[in-house]
């Protein structure tokens, strides 16, 4: 795992498919508003479900005129489609499936040992500069204060 992307760094651009197989591009999103990138290990797991449910349940804080939120993991779009439909996740779940975890690697949140991203949270501004970055230790849930700290900068 490389070092976590630092505040002030230029966020690497990417285009990934969402759960509906639509292509989502970071630069295009950031041109309109700030973007909160929420990396998660795997769909259909308890901690990930709880964290993304928090975003779903507090949608106006995570998707508004100044901020949009996308979640990223290595699962394929069909898996994300089934999971998002079952959980009512309306925000994009992006598939960093192939090359396996390439975007997570660029952001320094990919665990080579586990083969999936750790719980990384990165806020990107309209100039694609990183305003906030945090990653939980392997196996650890995201500290709930991470949401408040990231949202306070959005």
Cα dihedral angle (49, 88, 19, 29), rounded to 10 degrees?
-90
State the architecture of 15-153 in CATH terms: 3-Layer(aba) Sandwich (3.40)
Domain edges within the chain: 15-153
Reply yes or no on whether the pLDDT at 144 is more than 90: no
Which whole number is the average pLDDT over 94-119?
96
Q: Which of 70, 151, 72, 146 is nearest to 109 (CA)?
A: 72
What gap in Å lies between CA 34 and CA 15, rounded to an integer?
A: 16
Average pLDDT over residues 76-81: 97
The pLDDT value recorded for residue 15 is 98
Q: Is the pLDDT of residue 1 over 70?
A: no
CB neighbourhood size of 148 (10 A): 10
Give the pLDDT confidence score for residue 137 in this predicted structure.
Answer: 87
Closest alpha carbon to 84 in 146, 134, 32, 22: 22
Residue range 3-33, pLDDT digits in tens: 999 999 999 999 999 999 999 999 999 999 9
- Among 11, 48, 72, 130, which one carries the catalytic annotation? 48
pLDDT band with cut points at 50, 70 and 90 for residue 138: confident
Report if pTM > 0.85. Answer: yes
Q: Is 48 a catalytic residue?
A: yes
């Amino acid at each position: 795992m490389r070092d976590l992307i630092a505040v002030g760094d230029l966020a690497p651009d990417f285009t990934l498919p969402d759960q509906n197989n639509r292509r989502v591009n970071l630069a295009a999103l950031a041109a309109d508003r700030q973007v909160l990138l929420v990396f998660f290990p795997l769909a259909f797991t308890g901690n990930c479900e709880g964290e993304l449910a928090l975003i779903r349940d507090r949608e106006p804080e995570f998707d508004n005129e100044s901020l949009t939120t996308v979640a990223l993991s290595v699962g394929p779009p069909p898996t994300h489609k089934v999971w998002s439909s079952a959980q009512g996740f309306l925000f994009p779940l992006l598939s960093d499936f192939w090359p396996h975890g390439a975007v997570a690697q660029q952001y320094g949140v990919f665990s080579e040992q586990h083969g999936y991203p750790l719980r990384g949270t990165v806020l990107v501004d309209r100039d694609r500069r990183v305003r906030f970055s945090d990653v939980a230790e392997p196996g650890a849930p995201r500290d709930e204060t991470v949401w408040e700290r990231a949202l306070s900068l959005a």
